[in-house]
Amino acid sequence: MKDLCSQHWLKEAVIYSLDVRSFKDADHNGLGDIQGLISKLDYLQYLGINCIWLVPFYSSDEKDGGYDVVNYYTVDTRLGTLQDFEVLVKSAAKRNIKIIIDLVVNHTSNRHPWFLEAISDRGSRFHDFYIWKDEKPENDKEDLVFKTVEESNWEYNHQVNRYYYHTFYHFQPDLNVSNPAVQEEILRILNFWMQFGIFGFRIDAVPHILKNKGDERFEGNPYDVLDRWKEAVLKINKDAILIGEADVEPEDYPRFFNKGKKLDGLFNFFLNNYLFLALAEHCAKPLINAFKRLPFSNGHGQYLNFLRNHDELDLERLTNDERARVMEVFAPCPFMRIYDRGIRRRLPPMLNNNRMHICLSMNLLLTLPGSPVIRYGEEIGMGDDLDLQERQSVRTAMQWDDTFNGGFSSVSPPELKWTVIDGGVYGYQNINVSKEMDDEFSILCQTKKIIASRKEYKLAFCSSFQILKNDHPQIFIYRYDLNDYGILIINNFSYTNADVEIDLTKEKPVLTCVLGSPLSMKESAGKINLILSPYSYLWYKLSKLE
């Protein structure tokens, strides 16, 4: 497949997603900040990260983790300054780490100056920055995202005696992106941040941005907006990228790419859903079947794979029966579920803190076709706090060591402005970076080893991805091939030992185990017989006979 051969930097990126609020507190106010992140760049370099995706750090009303933006052109004063951000970008670049940031333009906060102008005067140009109706539509819940929290897509504003449209929370009025004036403002936002030397944007809620809403309609094809955004960032940085959050059916993926003129990458929600179904059922078949529906682009466009992100584990791509099976295994209690579609837990609690099962998941993340996105703390097996509201349960503070507050902040617990998991299985006393650095079998060290192997054997540049058939439903085998060697990757989804036979009689390659080890191996005339331990994974280098 040609698209796996391109040497664009996104193809070989290992992306690390974080919120500066929850990462490291450097100014001792109980909240993470930009200077704190700068102080931890060496750790990310040690791990093998070469791209950081920052969730919103703009001035906001802080009702939705920074996604309720009040000012697109400033840094939240509690997190730092524009000068701090400039230092962050330059400091990261010295370590060959690129920075991409969130573009949040589906909506603003209802405290954004544009919205305040919009409700102060119906004749204001800013009134048309949003979507209005004089009467609430009868079908007012058609596109409601937070179904168990919000009651309608339309919220009444008494100042203008009209209803405004919101896809998400009622305090986040949707922008009317079909309005050319709004499109110009978005271009200004893109240009402003690109000047700092960033390498692009992760665009929040892309399909919702491009929808016709209320009585507002795009002129022409709504997806053409993405062409203009891409053109704008490339004018400033020829290597800049746009990646999109688009939780849609896989058949819709190609329309977001358009041969590199629109988005460069899409988060692969479809594959993510079936990966969790496979993990829940201890069976590779759901993942194998998912690849049959997944379109690969013809030279442009990259998938971004992930295990968990900063939101709920949204299982909308599964059938009702499939979703129910995953819920039964990974969210058996109602308080673990959210929005009638997802799970608000981190990966380790879902996998009962089984280190091998977690490491198997990390191996899949880092070896399936696409660019892996690691959520902060995932590499050490951090847990969640289900006492927190909604999605905050998976957004607790990074756990650096077993000292006070896990090394996140030096303030006393009452002064903390971000939740630290203290005590219990997932407390910082048991799970932290420092402890795992000293244990070669820890999740951290195993993740670092897989990342290093991914780079050493150039998986991002392999010319093919091929799933190999086998007679064991719990074994998932695939291979990548370069010109002079191949990499065979074997994953055991089973919680018991598994026997597997691999037929390579047509080529009879020289096999070298480069990662992991089987319980036993027999090789004869190109046929390999393995016994695998529970949740194990193996990498073999396939070389041609001299």
250-305: pLDDT as tens digits: 999 999 987 777 999 999 999 999 999 999 999 999 999 999 999 876 666 899 99
The rounded distance, in Å, linking the Cα atoms of 86 and 89 is: 5
Query: In which band, very low, low, confident or very high, does the pLDDT at 545 lie, cut at 50, 70 and 90?
Result: low
Question: Is residue 81 predicted with pLDDT exceeding 80?
Answer: yes
Judged against a pLDDT cut of 80, whether residue 501 lies above it is answered with yes
Q: Which residues pair with 375 in a beta bridge?
A: 17
Contacts of 69 (CB under 8 A, 6+ apart): 56, 58, 59, 60, 104, 108, 109, 112
Backbone angles phi, psi at 306, to 5 degrees: -155, 160
CB 264 within 8 A of CB 286: no
Amino acid 285: pLDDT: 96
Q: How many CB atoms lie within 10 A of CB 545?
A: 7
pLDDT at 231: 96
Q: What is the DSSP track for 456-478?
A: HTTGGG-S-EEEEP-S-TTEEEE
> CA 448 to CA 437: how far, in whole Å?
10
- Write down the H helix ranges in 380-526: 433-437, 443-456
Q: What is the pLDDT of residue 299?
A: 60
What per-residue confidence (pLDDT) applies to 2?
A: 36
Please give the Cα distance from 135 to 546 (Å, whole number): 77
Extract the tokens encoding 347.
Answer: 């990966």
Residue 546's pLDDT is what?
53
Residue 508 CA, chain-centre distance (Å), reads 39
**pTM (2 decimals)?**
0.96
Tracing tokens 């998991």 back to the chain, one arrives at: 421
Identity of the residue numbered 50: N
d(Cα 222, Cα 262) in Å, to the nearest integer? 12
Q: How far apart are CA 9 and CA 265, in angstroms?
A: 12
Using alpha carbons only, what angle is made at residue 285 by residues 282 and 290, rounded to the nearest 5 degrees? 120
Least confident span in 24-33, 138-147, 295-304, 502-511: 295-304
DSSP, res 397:
P
Residues ≥6 apart with Cβ < 8 Å to 332? none
CB 23 within 8 A of CB 16: no
Q: Residue range 338-345: average pLDDT?
A: 96
Asked whether residue 507 carries a pLDDT value surpassing 90, the answer given is no
Sheet of strand 132-133: strand arrangement: 132-133, 162-165, 154-157
Summarize the confidence of residues 126-138 as an average pLDDT: 96
CA–CA gap between residue 278 and residue 31 (Å, rounded) = 37
- 266-302 per-residue burial string, b: 16 or more CB within 10 A, e: under 16: bbbbbbbbbbbbbbbbbbbebbbebbeebebbeebbb
Please provide the DSSP assignment of 17-76 as one string.
Answer: EE-GGGT--SSSSSS--HHHHHHTHHHHHHHT--EEEEPP-EEE-SSSTT-SEEEEEEE-
Burial class (CB in 10 A: 0-12, 13-18, 19+), 6: middle
518-527 pLDDT, tens digit per residue, is 999 998 878 9
Q: What is the mean pLDDT of the segment spanning 534-540?
A: 97
CB 531 within 8 A of CB 520: yes
**pLDDT at residue 297 in the model:** 61
Going along 185-261, which residue ranges are E strands?
Answer: 200-203, 241-244
| Residue 4's pLDDT band (cuts 50, 70, 90) | very low
Predicted pLDDT at 298 = 62
The end-to-end CA distance of the chain, in Å, is 27
pLDDT of residue 544 exceeding 90: no
Asked whether the predicted pLDDT for residue 482 surpasses 90, the reply is: no
Show the tokens assigned to 102. 């969130």
Q: What is the pLDDT of residues 192-229, one digit of tens each?
A: 999 999 999 999 999 999 999 999 999 999 999 999 99
Mean pLDDT of 467-485: 93
pLDDT tens per residue, range 414-444? 999 999 999 999 999 999 999 999 999 999 9
Whether residue 148 is predicted with pLDDT greater than 90 in this model: the reply is no
Contact 529, 501 (CB under 8 A): yes
Q: Where are the beta strands (DSSP E) in 260-321?
A: 265-267, 302-306, 313-314
> What percent of the chain has pLDDT above 70?
97
How many Å apart are CA 115 and CA 109, to the nearest integer?
8
Is the CB of residue 503 less than 8 Å from the CB of residue 513?
no
For residue 437, count CB atoms less than 10 angstroms from its CB and return exposed for 0-12, middle for 13-18, buried for 19 or more.
middle
Alpha-carbon distance 37 to 101, whole Å? 14
Helical (H) or strand (E) element with 501: strand 498-503
Q: Which residues are catalytic?
A: 204, 245
**Beta strands at 302-306 and 265-267: parallel, antiparallel or unpaired:** parallel
At 177-186, the pLDDT tens digits run 999 999 999 9
- pLDDT of amino acid 26: 98
Number of helices and strands in the chain (H, E): 14, 24
**Strand spans (E) along 341-397:** 342-343, 371-375
Q: What is the C-alpha radius of gyration for the chain, rounded to an integer number of angstroms?
A: 24
pLDDT score, position 5: 37
Overall average pLDDT of the 376-389 stretch: 97
Provide the mean pLDDT of the chain.
95
DSSP 335-348: GGEETTTEE---HH
Whether 158 has a pLDDT exceeding 70, the answer reads: yes
Question: Please, which residues bridge with residue 51 across strands?
Answer: 15, 98
pLDDT at 442: 97
Mean pLDDT of 126-146: 93
Mean pLDDT value across residues 219-246: 96
Cα angle for residues 207, 209, 214 (degrees, 5° grid)? 105
Per-residue confidence (pLDDT) for residue 463, from 0 to 100:
64
Burial status of residue 529 (CB atoms within 10 A of its CB: 0-12, 13-18, 19 or more): middle
* Structural domains in the chain plus CATH codes: 2-106+179-269+296-320+341-454 (3.20.20.80), 113-165 (3.90.400.10), 462-543 (2.60.40.1180)
Q: Which pLDDT value is given to residue 6?
A: 40
**Across residues 386-403, what is the average pLDDT?**
97
